Structure 1
Amino acid sequence: MFDWNDLKYFIAVAETGSTLAAARQLRVSQTTVARRVAALEREVGLHLFERRSAGYALTPPGQAMLANALGVRDAAARFEQLARAESRDAGGVVSVTAMEIFALTVLPAILRDLRTAHPGIQIRLDTSDELRELGAGAADIAIRCSKRPAGAGLVGRRIADSGWTLYCSRDYAALHGIPNNREQLARHPFIGGGGALWEPYQAWLRQYRLEESVVMQYDSVAGLLAGVRAGMGLTILPAFLADREEDLVRCLPPRNDDITGVWLLTHERVRHVPRVRLVLDFLARELTRIARS
């Protein structure tokens, strides 16, 4: 099989009539042009040019092959134009669904950098507690904490492991200490709520029989984070996010049965749409970097 790149040397010599003129056109040496044309002739087993003192003239086989070579060149040019068009089309709206706690912790900086790198992309961020169905087009991309995401046609990757465990603020720890067993936990106030976080949180409190220790409940993650940061008490948070909050201190290691995955998902229907692919790859790279930091 001949080298496809040799066709451009063949065409240049055919159009200019000499290896010198072709070399100037292609901005390479005359020797390179002559060598590549000779290599093409060897590979196809044809004499494409007659070497004359006045230059190169196409042989009948060369004339017959030129039309096909020009067709390859034109097809390559169309391919490049389509690729550039696809690249330009890597703009528009991409909908991302994620738990609210992601939007309050790691996502703002990531989306800021995405905007800087790709100003044509507009992100529509959905932080509803309701699980959005990607297959039905409710969102293009999902960031989920789950042991194993369910849903037909989902594709993606597990970015990191993340257990749920107990946190307090640094100021709270300085005043009241960091509890590290059940007896000590019973002497500390707990902040409850957090929307979608409340279900795993309730399970954790039931295990340690600490339901009566909840002194305040928020109906959103924003309130829950505000409460724990202010030193109101202790709360349960996903370690992947809370471990990276400078104001927070982990009190206990996660339980093994509380280990979930941080998943980045899309649906096979949109996985190759340029703007979705671009955002998916950007999120994967940045979330992986955070997981390894």
Structure 2
Amino acid sequence: MYDWNDLKAFLAVAETGSTLAAAQALRVSQTTVARRIAALEEATGLNLFERRQAGYALTPVGEAMMASALAVRDAADRFGDAAGAKSRDAGGTVSLTTMEIFAVTILPPILRDLRAEHPGIHIHLETTDEPRDLASGAADIAIRSTKQPSGGGLVGRRIADNPWTVYCSRDYADRHGIPHTREELAAHPFIGGGGYVWEPYQAWLRRHGLENSVVMQYDSASGLLAGVRSGMGLSVLPAFLADREPSLVRCIPAMSEDTTGLWLLTHERLRHVPRVRLVLDFLAAALTRLARS
């Protein structure tokens, strides 16, 4: 059985008259073209070209095969065009999971633009602080803040560093000043909780003797954001979004042990599904632009 690349070499030589010109058109070596012509002749048992000093000339048999070869190429081109159109026009539902704090801050304008550009895509957005198991089909795509993603078969990319550190509102800073050291933090009220993030957040407070400074607790990270915006006190928030909030001020630098990454993830079995690939690429581009702004 012949190889499709052998047939492409046959057509290129037939149309250009030489293996050198065909090699340039196909962007391969002249030796490769000659080898493919020989392989096609061996596979078909036909003598397709006369090798002349001036180049390659089709034999009568080769001439007779041209129409069939061109039909195969046309069919392959139509297949490629159809596949490309399907990929560009991919539609259907894509499930996306992320923490609520990202879902209510950075994602709405991105998903608005996705809808405008790809109206055939329907996003099902689940907001949860608990990582969903992509391997089991709990979601197609996840945006996670973590040091290293866990779960079998995950593929994706790290969009940016996303350290969690201490913030207050500008209004709070105007009234009470900005604490810049861990000693100064002890004189300010903290907003605790945060659901999934509370365990490491509480451990950080305990490690620095600040646990007794907590005056109120929320059960979600978006609650922490709301509390800080209100001027109630200080809290730990993800820098990827908090640094872009004009109403917030970062109090202290993030410590290396508190640095996580913002990850865009899917499962390996979904990475080439057109609608999932489209959303992944769109989100990656939008989040990367945001990270660089």
TM above 0.5: yes
Within-5 A mapping of 1:214-293: 214-293=214-293
Amino acid at match of 1:132: R
Pairwise CA distance, 1:38: 5.0
Larger radius of gyration: 1
1:120 match: 120
Between 61-70 and 115-124, the greater mean CA deviation after superposition: 61-70
1:76 match: 77
Cα-Cα RMSD: 2.6
1:67 aligned onto 2:68: yes
Alpha-carbon contact 2:225-2:237 (below 8 Å) kept: no
Task: Classify the secondary structure of the residue corresponding to 2:163.
Answer: strand
Pairwise CA distance, 1:159: 1.1
Within-5 A mapping of 1:177-192: 177-192=177-192
Task: Classify the secondary structure of the residue corresponding to 1:180.
Answer: coil
Q: Percent of counterpart pairs with the same letter?
A: 60
Within-5 A mapping of 1:92-103: 92-103=92-103
Amino acid at match of 1:292: R
Pairwise CA distance, 1:48: 5.0
User: Cα–Cα, structure 1 residues 244 and 5, in superposed 2: closer, same or farther, change >3 Å?
Assistant: farther
Amino acid at match of 1:192: G
1:54 match: none
Deviation per CA, 1:93-135: give whole Å up to 9, x if none.
Answer: 1111111111122111111111111111111111112221000
Alpha-carbon contact 1:6-1:37 (below 8 Å) kept: no
Alpha-carbon contact 1:47-1:62 (below 8 Å) kept: no
User: Cα–Cα, structure 1 residues 187 and 86, in superposed 2: closer, same or farther, change >3 Å?
Assistant: closer
Task: Classify the secondary structure of the residue corresponding to 2:245.
Answer: coil
User: Cα–Cα, structure 1 residues 71 and 214, in superposed 2: closer, same or farther, change >3 Å?
Assistant: same
Q: Distance in 2 between matches of 1:275 and 1:159?
A: 20
Q: Distance in 1 between matches of 2:96 and 2:57?
A: 59
TM-score, with length taken from structure 1: 0.80
Pairwise CA distance, 1:258: 0.6
Task: Classify the secondary structure of the residue corresponding to 2:260.
Answer: strand
Amino acid at match of 2:81: E
User: Cα–Cα, structure 1 residues 285 and 47, in superposed 2: closer, same or farther, change >3 Å?
Assistant: same
Within-5 A mapping of 1:134-153: 134-153=134-153
Amino acid at match of 1:76: D
Task: Classify the secondary structure of the residue corresponding to 1:109.
Answer: helix
Amino acid at match of 1:175: R
Unaligned runs of at least 5 residues, structure 2: 23-48, 51-55
User: Cα–Cα, structure 1 residues 60 and 165, in superposed 2: closer, same or farther, change >3 Å?
Assistant: closer
Alpha-carbon contact 2:224-2:237 (below 8 Å) kept: no
User: Cα–Cα, structure 1 residues 252 and 69, in superposed 2: closer, same or farther, change >3 Å?
Assistant: same
Q: Distance in 1 between matches of 2:62 and 2:232?
A: 87
Amino acid at match of 1:223: G
Task: Classify the secondary structure of the residue corresponding to 1:245.
Answer: coil
Q: Distance in 1 between matches of 2:194 and 2:121?
A: 30
Pairwise CA distance, 1:222: 3.0
1:32 match: none
Q: Distance in 2 between matches of 1:85 and 1:157?
A: 25
Pairwise CA distance, 1:264: 0.9
Deviation per CA, 1:221-265: give whole Å up to 9, x if none.
Answer: 333222111111111011112111111000000111111111111
User: Cα–Cα, structure 1 residues 67 and 202, in superposed 2: closer, same or farther, change >3 Å?
Assistant: same
Task: Classify the secondary structure of the residue corresponding to 2:65.
Answer: helix
